[in-house]
Amino acid sequence: MDTNVFGMAATFHPFVGPMRAQASGNLVGHRSVAGFRGLPGGSAYSASKWPLYTYLESPARGAPRLGVAVVTICPGYIRTPMTAANRYPMPFIIDADEAARRFARAIAAKRRFAVIPWQMALVSFVLRRLPRWLFDRLFAARRERRRSPPVRG
């Protein structure tokens, strides 16, 4: 929570007023697709990403007419040394360079909300709308995700 929620607020806060005053700028927030629904093994991470949705909506209200763009980027899995340690399936994983290009396009287009890659938007949409009983049944047998120590080097 300190990093993902309070860190975001502490980073944004000094810029919102000046950007509104000068009527220009881009505020870009990072929110993971893991924040759409709590998954086994990701409770703390998912819980720390969900509040960012509403936090990033707040400055977005009225910001466009003031010349300020608020862009929320929700990445799925990105191939990095950190994800290399994951020992579970990572659907639609993309390379870091490709992710950066897609992020830059979303920011340049001033998209208010971008799920990258787009396939994760479909998965997130479905998961979020599943009734709790069905979601629980589908994920009941899923074990906690185990992470191997990160590879350093």
Q: Report if residue 23 sits inside a domain.
A: no
The token pair that represents 69 in the structure block: 């763009």
Q: What is the dihedral of CA 73, 79, 80, 83, to 10 degrees?
A: 90
Amino acid letter, 117 = P
Q: Report if residue 92 sits inside a domain.
A: yes
CA distance 58 to 71: 12
CA distance 113 to 33: 12
pLDDT tens digits, one per residue of 86-139:
888 899 999 999 999 999 999 999 999 999 999 999 988 898 899 989 988 887
How would you classify the pairing of strands 113-116 and 68-75?
A: parallel
Q: Report if residue 87 sits inside a domain.
A: yes
Q: Report if residue 44 sits inside a domain.
A: yes
CA distance 63 to 47: 26
Q: Report if residue 55 sits inside a domain.
A: yes
Structural domain range at position 123: 2-11+29-60+68-139
Which pTM does this prediction carry? 0.79
Q: How many domains, in total, are found in the chain?
A: 1
Give the residue numbers annotated as catalytic, written as ranges. Answer: 45
- By the 8 A CB rule, do 68 and 23 touch? yes
pLDDT tens digits, one per residue of 34-93:
888 877 777 888 889 888 888 887 765 666 677 888 899 999 999 999 999 988 889 999
Q: Identify the CATH number of the domain in which residue 85 sits.
A: 3.40.50.720
Q: Report if residue 91 sits inside a domain.
A: yes
Q: Report if residue 152 sits inside a domain.
A: no
Q: Report if residue 151 sits inside a domain.
A: no
